Amino acid sequence: MENILSEIQALRNSLHQHNYNYYILDEPTISDYDFDVLLQRLQTLESQYPEYYDANSPTQRVGGGVTKNFETKKHRYPMYSLSNTYSKEEVLQWQERLVKILEHDQISFSCELKFDGASINLTYENGKLVQALTRGDGIEGDDVTTNIKTIGTIPLRLQGDYPDFFEIRGEIILPWDGFHQMNEAREAAGEPLYRNPRNTASGSLKLQDSSLVAQRPLRCFLYSLAGENLGVQSQFDALGKARQWGFKVPDSARLLGTVEEVFEFIAHWETARKNLPYEIDGIVIKVNDLQQQELLGFTAKAPRWAIAYKFKAENIVTQLLGVQYQVGRTGAITPVAQLEAVEISGTTVKRASLHNADQIEKLDLRIKDWVYVEKGGEIIPKITGVDPERRGRLEDRVTFVDHCPDCSSPLERLEGEAQHYCSNSSGCPTQIIGRIQHFIGRKAMDIEGLGGETVALLYHAGLIRSVADLYALRPEQLLPLERMAEKSVTNLIEGVKQSKEKPFAKVLFGLGIRFVGETVAKRLAKQFGSIAALAQADFETLIQTEDIGDRIAKSVMDWFLLAANQELIQELKAQGLQLENAVQAEATVPQILENKKVVVSGVFEHFSREGIKEKIETLGGQIVSGVSSKTDLIVAGEGMGPSKKQKAEKLGIQILDETAFLALLKE
Ligand code: AMP
Ligand code: ZN
């Protein structure tokens, strides 16, 4: 037995090494055939001796594990997006802002390629990959560990002097040749082609069968570390360290000391990118020094210390065939251009967004015009201009509709708004269906067993007219419907029932009040605690809430004024949905930090960074990222940046160290 175990271990070591040589160094030292022989030997031994199972064995690369539901998990460190720009002018303005905030004009930048794929967060414990989460909404992502293990460029086991625990972020991409290969196979099989590498890469992460993922030529490039006490002082250091630990970190990154050099870097890649074996959609510029990064902090969405310069999208000319009008769940009417099909950056484009009536007028659009179409970062391309040499006839000018294409009600346009709306919010089928679809959506009630098409089906069958009706559905009403087998009916009813447990903030978001997105819904739920309190809040109270401006306040008040909405709330209440925050133990915690703006800095002995932030919030404090004159308090652990400290002292802000903070908790 001893011998078996040592053979298994030797095989694993050798396969890990060959894998590294092949995927990371691009220098394989054995043939694929010899590699397969070793791998098969290991597979045989592992199946004969299941007691020696290892979740990070090279055999896991082959896949086979099936994930039915990808579990959603919270990110230890939120995954922010990046502020982006298409203009060098704005990059310059950004740099000038940094100089001002940091009071320092020697800022160096780590300049990196912006890989165009799906972002991933990997967790390593004692040198082993233990978890892989997708970005999701940045706060929570989906656990795709089983699938990720099949990607050769992701080390299952690290080398060198890696920290005991850390997280690392990167991009899963599909290089062009792999993408084309996959499409050739699809074409041969008469299947529809994949549209672009990015969507195919991100779609791959959610395949249920990991052995299918293993067959896809995916790669992973790493670009940032997260964790405490990692022993790195700068972003560029971090890239080097990650490379030493066995990660694939492309060597295209440069450490640059001036904006001029940054612009040269951009100019170089603007053309050189066409020769890369994979797609990039821009350049990411990051403040290199981690202490400076910490000082700069984050906005709600993105770090202040980084900016993405995006390459201008490809522009193409095609002919306008017509304009259709779509109705959204809020009644907003969106004009959509129908185009003669063209290829842009590898995808076929037949439709383009026209935004609103003003846009159409500004373009003076006529049917049969030749128009410029641009496909930028967004999924839907847009029309950016008309070719003056090839115009349609004057009598074919596009005039915006004045009635709803769905329910024929007259359209209205609120003062100061660009959008037209269908005025019939309670009777317009598209709006009703759209509202219910929004309510059951993933970010809202996330009702299992019920999808958007079924909602439409149920509406047309006369079974639902509002989200409250979902909760009154009975099996005998559903069974006679098309495509409703017993099993799906049970799932649907069960899913609807379970959604009654969803917290108030989700219900509030699900109601689809105009301008009340996910973040605002959370904020309102936290501030007001219940739908009853929110319904009674006046304008003054609403706008005093963080993040809530005039526009949102007014929209919330208008929503509660409608009798139909008041009825809806009564019905939802009767059905037992959560219309107030669950009572938590923290309600009894004295709010000693009430309304205090608190900055957390450094690392702590008794708390994780997220943990201490949560603690501060339960005491009523509000976490802010950058030190400013508005900051009330700084809770500082080990290693608070000296510049941050200086700034705090200059502004006379109280600083509590961990001991003092613990003492405060005792009180
Ligand atoms: P966006 O999705 O436009 O907000 O851009 C942010 C995304 O860019 C991140 O979530 C990453 O997935 C991706 N990205 C690609 N390359 C890099 C890089 N070198 N550094 C940081 N983010 C990157
Ligand atoms: Zn309508």
- Per-residue pLDDT of 130-176, as tens digits, reads 999 999 999 999 999 999 999 999 999 999 999 999 999 999 999 98
Best mutation site among 80, 223, 273, 378 for ligand 1 pocket (most ligand atoms within 8 Å of CB): 223
pLDDT of residue 345: 66
Task: Work out the burial of residue 378: count CB atoms within 10 Å of its CB; fewer than 13 is exposed, 13-18 middle, 19 or more buried.
Answer: exposed
Distance 434 CA to ligand 2 centre (A): 11
Q: Is 666 a catalytic residue?
A: no
C-beta of 294 in contact with ligand 1 (< 6 A):
no
pLDDT of residue 584: 58
Catalytic residue among 114, 506, 522, 615: 114
* Category of 441 on φ-ψ map: left (φ > 0), alpha (ψ -120 to 50) or beta: beta
Task: Work out the burial of residue 393: count CB atoms within 10 Å of its CB; fewer than 13 is exposed, 13-18 middle, 19 or more buried.
Answer: exposed
Distance 114 CA to ligand 1 centre (A): 6
Atom of ligand 1 nearest to the CA of 79: 10
Best mutation site among 75, 81, 82, 309 for ligand 1 pocket (most ligand atoms within 8 Å of CB): 82
Which amino acid does the sequence have at 483?
R
Q: Rounded to the nearest 10 degrees, how much is the dihedral formed by the CA atoms of 247, 252, 257, 263?
A: -140
pLDDT of residue 377: 45
C-beta of 119 in contact with ligand 1 (< 6 A):
yes
Q: Atom 11 of ligand 1 has which residue's CA nearest to it?
A: 119
Which ligand is closest in space to the CA of residue 81? 1
Across 17-26, 204-213, 305-314, 626-635, least confident range: 626-635
- Say if residue 190's pLDDT is above 70: no
Which amino acid does the sequence have at 60?
Q
pLDDT of residue 665: 83
- The radius of gyration of the chain's CA atoms, rounded to the nearest angstrom, is 28
- Rounded distance, CA 197 to CA 218, Å? 10
Cα torsion angle, 573, 575, 581, 585, sign: positive
In terms of DSSP H, where are the helices of 128-254?
145-148, 176-188, 197-204, 210-214, 235-244
C-beta of 114 in contact with ligand 1 (< 6 A):
yes
- Rounded distance, CA 154 to CA 164, Å? 18
- Say if residue 405's pLDDT is above 90: yes
Pairing relation of β-strands 654-657 and 633-636?
parallel
- Rounded distance, CA 225 to CA 596, Å? 30
Distance 115 CA to ligand 1 centre (A): 7
Q: For the whole model, what pTM was predicted?
A: 0.56
Which ligand is closest in space to the CA of residue 285? 1
- Rounded distance, CA 539 to CA 548, Å? 10
Distance 351 CA to ligand 2 centre (A): 22
CB atoms within 10 A of CB 89: 9
C-beta of 82 in contact with ligand 1 (< 6 A):
yes
Q: Is 123 helix (H, G, I), strand (E, B) or coil?
A: strand
Which ligand is closest in space to the CA of residue 242? 1
Q: Where are the beta strands (DSSP E) in 586-664?
A: 597-601, 622-623, 633-636, 654-657
Digit-coded pLDDT (tens) for 488-522 = 999 999 999 999 999 999 999 999 998 888 878 98
Distance 72 CA to ligand 1 centre (A): 21
pLDDT of residue 508: 96
C-beta of 223 in contact with ligand 1 (< 6 A):
yes
Phi, psi for 585 (deg, rounded to 5): -55, -30
CB atoms within 10 A of CB 47: 10
Atom of ligand 1 nearest to the CA of 221: 16
pLDDT of residue 168: 98
Distance 145 CA to ligand 1 centre (A): 20
- Say if residue 347's pLDDT is above 80: no
- Say if residue 587's pLDDT is above 60: no
Helices (H) and strands (E) in the chain, counts: 25, 22
Exposure string for 106-134, b = 16+ CB within 10 A, e = fewer: ebbbbbbbbbbbbbbbbbbeebebebbbb
Query: What is the average pLDDT across 644-656?
Result: 86
pLDDT of residue 419: 85
